[in-house]
Structure 1
Amino acid sequence: MRDANVFAFRKAMPRMSWSPRNLYNLWRRSCGAEAVAIDFTRSPKTLFQQRWISKALVRAYHGDFINEKIFKRWYLPDTLPDVRPRQHALSSNGDLDAFAGRTEQLERAKKKAYDEQKKGLAPVGSLMLAEVERRIDVFIFRCCFAHSVYEARRLVIHGSILLNGKKHTNANTRLAPGDMISVDPVAIRFLQEPGSSEAESEGEPEPKIESSNPKSSLTPFNLPPYASPFIFIPAYAEVSFPTCSAIYVRHPTARPGYSEIATPYDADGEVIRLAWEWYSKMRPRTRSKSQMAREPENRRIGGH
């Protein structure tokens, strides 16, 4: 990890980690003293300052382990997709609808349209981070095979990960739908003895991995403290814990009232929108041939 003080209370920057210090920072940003700092409704800060603060917070969680130039060039979409529901004209001729047997169908359509209108537009702001979610190290963390994204990077670099059955050591790889990753069970900390499975606290210590699992009829499962707030599996991942493997089913998406991209901020709130405004003005517009040659691996076709 680049910065040993990544969980500093002074900055209170949430990260992709199960650390108890990170949980405290999440609480501070959500409902603690630092929550007021990201409420820009009546803020004396300039628009530039609001965008800068939002950009720093979003980068701290979604990719502080990615070089800023690489993040702007390869991990940001050109535009945000439009996933708003299309409006359909509904018939209002009751007699004709009853004759055609469409009354129940139209009632369902009206109810669906009302529910979508009540929920509002889809939180497309969070989709600016969809490319980051495709990274193999982020995917391993989302599947709960590692305590943090930093540990997930170590698992990849140290050769503990198989991609479609072959050893893979490039942590910058972006997965394609259908790709399957497998993790060496010996490298998963909460499958080890309790003494070697404690959650990282300040500096993400190197995990102590035994040469083999204890001989038992059941695989030991020692969940680290403070892990429960982070235990969830995104909808685009199909995880098999008995085999320590997972399939990247599809790219994450959003719909009214729901986003598949996990973020400590409102999926379409001020912080995400201001961060997008910052990057939409600052991101590179062109890519040279030499830059294209240095593009992080972007898999187009998955498969086993």
Structure 2
Amino acid sequence: MRDLNLYNFKRALPRMSWTQENLYNLWRRSLGELANEADFTRTQKTLFQQRWIAKRLVRAYHGDFINEKTFKHVRPRWGQTEDYATQLNKWAKLSKAVDKDVKARRQEIDGGEQEELPPVGSLMFSEVERRIDVVIFRACMAHSVYDARRMVVHGQVLLNGKKHQNANTRLAPGDMVSVDPKVISFLQPKVPSADMSSEELAADEPKVVTSAYSTPNPSSSQPQSSNPIHDKSLTPFQLPAYASPFIFIPAYLEVSFATCSVVYVRHPTARPGYSEIPTPYDADGEVVRLAWEWYSKVRPRNRSKRQLAREPENRQ
């Protein structure tokens, strides 16, 4: 990347990262002094400026590690029927004539009842969520998507049991990604430094969990070593600070932390009022809608299925 200053406090652009600086920028964008920058309810900015600001925010989180030319080709997986395309145009408010036609058609079919549309703008990032580096980050096996990319490029990731070093690969349903446990930072024991006090060293020792089903030994105050819960030779787990806002796994992934692997079960979906794609912005909000409108105008011509099948990184 040309700009290595990812967590600049002046720009405060949220990224796919667990760092404290990113959490602070995310708070500033949602509740802090920069929350009104993406509020276009009462603004003097032109429509072009609004779309560009929304595109800048969305691009920083969902695609700052992707080339702009490649990101323009990202498109949602929706049906291509004329009626559904008309509904998408109505949702994006691209044409008043289409809006009137859809409203009249629904009144004839449903007797005047309005049908709620899914947040199709968030589906624009469904192809990004298929990337192998993003899947590793969503599975909570890397602190950031940049760490996940380094894991893939350095040959520390297996795709279906074989070493894979292309970070641009888009997974197909059923693909399994395995990560070397030695490169997952929070599975490594802490190395005590010389300036650490005895209290800090005691706090870093693994905590012993007492099981409700274990029988205590009256001759010893220590728990039974035969119980695997009390076995100190197990893999340590050092959760980084301020990680709780990011510890979640999307519904389309099946993660096994015992084997450090994740299965890409299916493509992300969305329904009215709900989207499976994680995003710091409202999936049906103004920022995502304006960004969708921006890329719908600058997006290049649709590729055919034959052209998409020839792409080596797309596994369909």
Taking structure 2 as the reference length, the TM-score comes to 0.73
Q: Does 1:276 align with 2:310?
A: no
Q: How does 1:109-258 map to 2 (within 5 A)?
A: 120-195=116-191, 216-258=232-274
Residue identity matched to 2:188? Q
Give CA-to-partner distance per residue, 1:38-58, whole Å, 9 cap, x none. Answer: 000111100000000000111
Q: Distance in 2 between matches of 1:183 and 1:45?
A: 46
Residue identity matched to 1:252? P
Q: Distance in 2 between matches of 1:235 and 1:50?
A: 32
Q: Distance in 1 between matches of 2:18 and 2:45?
A: 32
Match of 1:101 in 2: none
Q: Does 1:71 align with 2:71?
A: yes
Q: Distance in 1 between matches of 2:178 and 2:20?
A: 27
Is this contact kept in 2: 1:80–1:127, CA < 8 A?
A: no
Q: 1:80 to 1:17 in 2, by over 3 A?
A: farther
Where structure 1 has 5 or more consecutive residues not aligned to the other structure, the ranges are 85-116, 197-214
Is this contact kept in 1: 2:77–2:123, CA < 8 A?
A: no
Q: Distance in 2 between matches of 1:179 and 1:78?
A: 19
Is this contact kept in 1: 2:159–2:176, CA < 8 A?
A: yes
1:121 CA drift (Å): 3.5
Match of 1:10 in 2: 10
Match of 1:50 in 2: 50
Structure with greater Cα Rg: 2
Instruction: State the SS of the aligned residue for 1:225.
Output: coil
Q: Distance in 1 between matches of 2:273 and 2:234?
A: 41
Give CA-to-partner distance per residue, 1:230-283, whole Å, 9 cap, x none. Answer: 000000000000110010000000122211000000001100000010000001
Match of 2:313 in 1: 297
Q: Does 1:25 align with 2:25?
A: yes
Is this contact kept in 2: 1:123–1:256, CA < 8 A?
A: yes
1:161 CA drift (Å): 0.4
Where structure 2 has 5 or more consecutive residues not aligned to the other structure, the ranges are 88-113, 193-230
Match of 2:36 in 1: 36
Q: Distance in 1 between matches of 2:272 and 2:158?
A: 36
Q: Does 1:61 align with 2:57?
A: no
1:76 CA drift (Å): 2.3
Give CA-to-partner distance per residue, 1:110-158, whole Å, 9 cap, x none. Answer: xxxxxxx89x542221001100000000000000000000000000000
Q: Distance in 2 between matches of 1:142 and 1:127?
A: 16
Q: Distance in 2 between matches of 1:257 and 1:275?
A: 19
Q: 1:78 to 1:225 in 2, by over 3 A?
A: closer
Match of 2:206 in 1: none
Q: 1:8 to 1:268 in 2, by over 3 A?
A: same
1:2 CA drift (Å): 4.4
Is this contact kept in 2: 1:7–1:22, CA < 8 A?
A: yes
Instruction: State the SS of the aligned residue for 2:43.
Output: coil
Residue identity matched to 1:172? N
1:77 CA drift (Å): 3.6
State the aligned residue count.
248
Q: Percent identity?
A: 73
Q: Distance in 2 between matches of 1:80 and 1:67?
A: 26
Q: Distance in 2 between matches of 1:61 and 1:294?
A: 28
Q: 1:56 to 1:192 in 2, by over 3 A?
A: same
Match of 1:211 in 2: none
Instruction: State the SS of the aligned residue for 1:218.
Output: coil
Q: 1:293 to 1:21 in 2, by over 3 A?
A: same
Is this contact kept in 2: 1:80–1:125, CA < 8 A?
A: no
Instruction: State the SS of the aligned residue for 1:124.
Output: coil
Q: Distance in 1 between matches of 2:176 and 2:233?
A: 27
Taking structure 1 as the reference length, the TM-score comes to 0.76
Instruction: State the SS of the aligned residue for 1:275.
Output: helix
Instruction: State the SS of the aligned residue for 1:238.
Output: strand
Q: Distance in 1 between matches of 2:134 and 2:298?
A: 24
Q: Distance in 2 between matches of 1:159 and 1:216?
A: 30
Q: Distance in 1 between matches of 2:78 and 2:287?
A: 17
Q: Distance in 2 between matches of 1:220 and 1:127?
A: 37
Q: 1:37 to 1:175 in 2, by over 3 A?
A: same
